[in-house]
Amino acid sequence: NRRSRGRPMKQRLLVVANRLPVSAVRRGEDSWYLEVSAGGLVSALLGVKDVDARWIGWAGVNVPDEVGQRALTKALAEKRCIPVFLDEEIAHQYYNGYCNNILWPLFHYLGLPQEDRLATTRSFQSQFDAYKRANKMFADVVNMHYQEGDVVWCHDYHLMFLPKCLKEYNSKMKVGWFLHTPFPSSEIHRTLPSRSELLRSVLAADIVGFHTYDYARHFVSACTRILGLEGTPEGVEDQGMLTRVAAFPIGIDSDRFKRALELPAVKEHINELTHRFAGRKVMLGVDRLDMIKGIPQKILAFEKFLEENPSWRDKVVLLQIAVPTRTDVPEYQKLTSQVHEIVGRINGRFGTLTAVPIHHLFLPLSREWTVGSFATDGRPLELPLLPLLLSAAFAAVATAVRSFRHCCCCCPQLSLLSPLLSATSIATATADRSLDFHALCALYAVTDVALVTSLRDGMNLVSYEFVACQGSKKGVLILSEFAGAAQSLGAGALLVNPWNITEVAASIGYALNMSPDEREKRHRHNYAHVTTHTAQDWAETFVSELNDTVVEAQLRTRQ
Ligand code: GDG
């Protein structure tokens, strides 16, 4: 049990992550507009209170000129953020290349890129070099802002080289590293050409944390099998020095969701949604549009359920929120088209004049695109009757356009005829093109069944957020056994193998027909977990253990 030991967090905490929790949009030579970004790490750390934390990270934009850099640094300082500036080429090789093309798929068991091996090896090396250079740039900024007594908490696979760089600057710096993705089996990790260098660098940290014991175990196995080091119950030992390795399951700020549900505007939104979907059960998926989230598998399972259960066809609706991500990467573009195509086909197949089975809210890639769905200030346009009429029209039109093998909601020309409109009108979007937080809470609250079908997922906060918003409804969570959350919410959720479409379809049926007693029992279990294992506990425990670990390490050195 790794609960906080009640130690007040007096130190300054330097949180170092690839991205800052804000996105910067340039408005002029020396003027910047800042927006909070969506994402798991951001959500978790937003829930951490009472820490004197500063964020250090890449602002996500190329700012070649000094005037722009100075202005951005100043604007970010007000949000206690410190930018790392990466030039375009390094950012591309480091972020799109090594992080997202190599490490992300590998850590989610999707393997290394399959292109021509020699070409891959060559580009692999240049991407790895850029990765190391970028990590060194992060280290320079941390070092510049570090004060004695600070705690440095490095996050995620983007920064595996950082602990080593920091310790080279200052061996007394307290450095922790936490991985938000799974750490794969050592048999997968050993395929990585830079496997040893990365492991050694991470081991330079005082403590290394993962979401689950399995990931921690995989990491220790990788160190013993690949580096020949000794694994102990506490971590990994190298020449008498111990690096603590442990599980620190992340949580959410459940109170933030509870408070949101009490707001009059959110209550009103819940009433509207309840009215809109009266007579139908609501199923919900909320995912970044990423291959690890298993969105096509989820939608195909829903199709199978409709196929096998005709009586449910006009009694259930699936709302799938998909936030575009890494949109310049071809695999992600392919996934987007694939999802749109499947949604279009299913809506064409099962839609009627009055209803479509899937509302796919694909949040648009460009502002121009949003004309007709959102006002430019982010408020939704008033489209009271239009969406319903268009939804109905869509079913008929979709059948006609099916032969084009496109979903209407991905084609700007046809978007006015798409169910997207009815979906967008049920929620507002923030300027960073994700759903407004309050709209998201309302959606969670009206949901009868949430569907999380990740093929692999470090934890999956969406499952936690859904549970937190289900105080009165006590809806059912269908959860992939390959999400870290399966280890904490497994007793309350219906666990599924997302690759087994038949099993997922059967679970949908089971969830929709579940007795109120069973729903209540399952919900109670999950709710107790989500409300007592919060983001704040997670951060406090990690930092507290980091402090203790450093003391232990120093004692060991003295002995
Ligand atoms: C990584 C790991 C791990 C999504 N769409 C909107 C929106 N979101 C928010 C959700 C949730 C977060 O983004 C997604 O978190 P997940 O945990 O589900 O997934 P990743 O982004 O892949 O996060 C994951 C996590 O890091 C933390 O360690 O659990 O395994 O992959 O909070 O609510 N928020 C808003 N509008 C949206 O449209 N406001």
- Between CA 352 and CA 359, with CA 355 as vertex, the angle to 5 degrees is 120
Q: Whose CA is nearest to atom 7 of ligand 1?
A: 38
pLDDT at 275 over 70: yes
Looking at the predicted structure, is the pLDDT value of residue 284 above 90? yes
Cα of 178 vs centre of ligand 1, distance in Å, is 16
Residue 57 has pLDDT above 60, yes or no: yes
Rounded to the nearest whole angstrom, what is the distance from the C-alpha of residue 445 to the centroid of ligand 1?
17
Which tens digits make up the pLDDT trace of 174-206? 999 999 999 999 999 999 999 999 999 999 999
What radius of gyration do the chain's Cα atoms show?
A: 24
For residues 467 and 549, the model is more confident at 467
C-alpha dihedral sign at 42, 47, 48, 54 = positive
Please give the pLDDT value at position 48. Answer: 60
Question: Ligand 1: distance of its center to the CA of 463 in Å?
Answer: 10
How would residue 414 be classed by pLDDT, with cut points 50, 70 and 90? very low
CA–chain centroid gap for 229, Å, is 32
Do residues 161 and 201 touch, judged by C-beta distance below 8 A? yes
Which atom, in ligand 1's list, is nearest to the CA of 43? Answer: 32
CA of 215 to the centre of ligand 1 (A): 19
Average pLDDT of the chain to the nearest whole number:
83
Residue with the two structure tokens 């090896």: 121
Residue 181 near ligand 1, beta carbon < 6 Å: yes
**What's the angle, vertex CA 429, arms to CA 405 and CA 348, rounded to 5?**
20
Burial zone of 10 (CB within 10 Å; 0-12 exposed, 13-18 middle, 19+ buried): exposed
How many other CB atoms are found less than 10 A from the CB of residue 555? 9
The single-letter DSSP state of residue 109 is T
Q: Are 266 and 260 in contact (CB under 8 A)?
A: yes
Per-residue pLDDT band at 550 (split at 50, 70, 90): low
pLDDT at 424: 33
357: nearest Cα among 327, 398, 386, 322? 398
Atom of ligand 1 lying closest to residue 462 CA: 18
Ligand 1 and 460: CB distance under 6 A:
yes
User: From the CA of 453, how far away is ligand 1's center (Å)?
Assistant: 14
Q: What is the mean pLDDT of residues 478-489?
A: 98
pLDDT at 557 over 80: no
Whether residue 288 has its Cβ less than 6 Å from ligand 1 = yes
pLDDT of residue 556: 52
pLDDT at 141 over 90: yes
What's the mean pLDDT in 164-169? 97
Q: What percent of the chain has pLDDT over 90?
A: 64
Query: Ligand 1 test: best mutation among 110, 215, 288, 534, most atoms within 8 Å of CB?
Result: 288
CA atoms within a 13 Å half-sphere pointing along the CA-CB vector of 159: 31
| Stronger pLDDT, 347 or 409, i.e. the higher one | 347
Q: Which atom of ligand 1 is nearest the CA belonging to 250?
A: 28
Q: Using CA atoms, how far apart are residues 548 and 535, in angstroms rounded to an integer?
A: 20
Q: Categorize the per-residue pLDDT at 22 as very low, low, confident or very high, splitting at 50, 70 and 90.
A: confident
Higher pLDDT, 135 or 32: 135
**Distances in Å between the alpha carbon of 497 and those of 109, 467, 480?**
15, 20, 6
From CA 163, how far away is CA 177, in angstroms rounded? 7
For residues 523 and 127, the answer to whether their CB atoms sit within 8 Å is: no
Mutate to test the pocket of ligand 1, among 103, 444, 459, 464 (most ligand atoms within 8 A of CB): 459
pTM for the whole structure? 0.86
The rounded Å distance from CA 483 to ligand 1 centre is 13
Q: Whose CA is closest to atom 15 on ligand 1?
A: 40
Residues 92/66, Cβ–Cβ less than 8 Å: no
Does residue 408 have a pLDDT over 50? no
Say if ligand 1 is within 6 A of residue 458 CB.
yes
Residue 46's pLDDT band, with cuts at 50, 70 and 90, is: low
What is the distance, to the nearest Å, from the Cα of residue 445 to the centroid of all Cα atoms in its chain?
20
CA of 19 to the centre of ligand 1 (A): 14
ipTM of this predicted structure = 0.99
Alpha-carbon distance of 476 to 31, in angstroms, equals 47
What span, in angstroms and rounded, lies between the C-alpha atoms of 279 and 355? 12
| Residue 286 CB less than 6 A away from ligand 1 | yes
pLDDT at 554: 52
CA-closest residue to ligand 1 atom 33: 462
Please compute the mean of the pLDDT values over residues 40-67 and round it to a whole number. Answer: 78
Q: With beta carbons less than 8 A apart as the criterion, state whether 535 and 48 touch.
A: yes
409: tokens are 């909601």
Atom of ligand 1 nearest to the CA of 436: 39
Confidence of residue 28 (pLDDT cuts 50, 70, 90): confident
Is residue 6 predicted with pLDDT exceeding 50?
A: no
Q: Is the CB of 250 under 6 A from ligand 1?
A: yes
**Statement: residue 438 has pLDDT above 70:** yes
Residue whose C-alpha is closest to residue 426's, from 412, 407, 446:
446
Distance 43 CA to ligand 1 centre (A): 7
Q: Are 152 and 14 in contact (CB under 8 A)?
A: yes
CA 56–ligand 1 middle distance (angstroms): 20
Rounded-to-integer distance, Cα 320 and Cα 286, Å: 6
- In this prediction, residue 409 carries a pLDDT of 34
Confidence at residue 221, expressed as pLDDT on a 0 to 100 scale: 98
In this predicted structure, the answer to whether residue 7 has a pLDDT above a threshold of 70 is no
Task: Name the token pair of 9.
Answer: 């967090």
Alpha-carbon distance of 463 to 530, in angstroms, equals: 9
Q: Which residue has the tokens 């998926």?
A: 285
Least confident of 57-61, 371-375, 480-484: 371-375
Asked whether residue 283 carries a pLDDT value surpassing 80, the answer given is yes
The most confident of the ranges 282-286, 322-326, 408-412 is: 282-286
Q: Where are the alpha helices (DSSP H) in 420-500?
A: 420-424, 437-446, 461-468, 486-489
Pick 236 or 396 by higher pLDDT: 236
The β-bridge relationship of strands 174-178 and 151-155 is parallel
Residue 465 Cβ inside 6 Å of ligand 1? The answer reads yes
C-beta 437 within 6 A of ligand 1:
yes
| Distance between CA atoms of residues 513 and 341, nearest Å | 29
Tell me whether residue 559 is exposed, middle or buried, using C-beta atoms within 10 angstroms of its C-beta: 0 to 12, 13 to 18, 19 or more.
exposed
Considering only CA atoms, which of 289, 420, 439, 438 is closest in space to residue 361?
420
Q: Is the CB of 319 under 6 A from ligand 1?
A: no
Q: Is the pLDDT higher at 201 or at 368?
A: 201
42-51, 60-69, 264-273, 413-422: least confidently modelled range:
413-422
Question: In angstroms, what is the span from residue 40 Cα to ligand 1's centroid?
Answer: 4
CA distances from 263 to 67, 146, 274, 426 (A): 42, 40, 16, 17
Q: What is the pLDDT of residues 302-331, one digit of tens each?
A: 999 999 999 999 999 999 999 888 887 788
Nearest CA to ligand 1 atom 34: 38
Give the residue, out of 361, 461, 480, with the most ligand 1 atoms within 8 A of its beta carbon, to mutate for a pocket test: 461
Per-residue pLDDT, 115: 59
Residue closest by Cα to atom 19 of ligand 1: 40
Query: Strand pairing partners for 291?
Result: none
Per-residue pLDDT reduced to its tens digit, 83-98:
999 999 999 899 988 9
Torsion, Cα of 550, 173, 197, 137 (10° steps): 160
User: Residue by residue, what is the 3-state secondary structure of 118-162?
Assistant: HHHHHHHHHHHHHHHHHHHHHHHHHHHHCCCCCEEEEECHHHCCH
Q: Which three-class secondary structure state does DSSP give residue 515? A: coil
pLDDT, position 548: 83
* pLDDT score of 353: 82
* Structural contact between residues 335 and 291, judged by C-beta atoms closer than 8 angstroms: yes
pLDDT tens digits, 72-82: 999 999 988 99
Q: What is the mean pLDDT of residues 148-176?
A: 96
Q: Is the CB of 105 under 6 A from ligand 1?
A: no
